[in-house]
Amino acid sequence: MKKILIYAIIVFFIIQFIRINKDNPPVKKEMDYTYITKAPSEVKAILKKACYDCHSNEINYPGYANIAPISWYIKEHINQGKEYVNFSEYGNYNQYQKEHINSALHRVIENKSMPLSSYIMMHKEANLSHEENRILLQWFSSLLINNKQ
């Protein structure tokens, strides 16, 4: 048992040298979701605190993102999040994709499936209040209505 513990400590030490890339691509304001949709400041603030750390090029990595294998999990989670939607690159999506994104955003907020509970556990500020949910749902609804006209 002692040998297993020693080997586990050695492996844990060695994997710390396998670092994730924490570089954020440059952000162009004119490509950002909140700029393109002319989001009100309250919507922008909610999205920045609850969504942008996994769904943009403005990721603020917490201190624990320096510890492997936690860092690997976080990086994979961010990569998956950006595959669904990258708010920093919203301007690159076509109209159909934008409509789909806004519909999906409405759905995940309505179902309270985002932000993920695992994220909220470590980032209490991302836990959306009833009022913040209402604001986002109203915003996404208005975008969907305006796109259908």
Q: Considering the chain, what is the average pLDDT of its residues?
A: 90
Q: What is the pLDDT of residue 42?
A: 96
Q: What is the pLDDT of residue 67?
A: 92
What is the spatial distance between Cα 47 and Cα 55, in angstroms, rounded to a whole number?
10
Amino acid of residue 104: A
Could you tell me the sign of the dihedral formed by the alpha carbons of 138, 140, 141, 145, in that order? positive
Rounded to 10°, the helix 95-110/130-148 angle is 150
Rounded to 10°, the helix 130-148/41-50 angle is 110
Q: Is the pLDDT of residue 148 over 80?
A: no
What is the spatial distance between Cα 61 and Cα 54, in angstroms, rounded to a whole number?
10
pLDDT digits (tens, 9 = 90+) for 57-109: 998 888 888 999 999 988 998 999 999 999 999 999 998 999 999 999 999 99
User: What stretches of the chain show up as alpha helix (H) in DSSP?
Assistant: 2-15, 33-36, 41-50, 70-84, 95-110, 117-122, 130-148
Question: Do 61 and 74 touch, CB atoms closer than 8 A?
Answer: yes
Torsion of CA 117, 80, 93, 110, to 10 degrees: -20
The number of beta carbons lying within 10 Å of the beta carbon of residue 6 is: 10
pLDDT digits (tens, 9 = 90+) for 33-67: 999 999 999 999 999 999 998 999 998 888 888 99
Q: What is the pLDDT of residue 147?
A: 63
Amino acid of residue 5: L
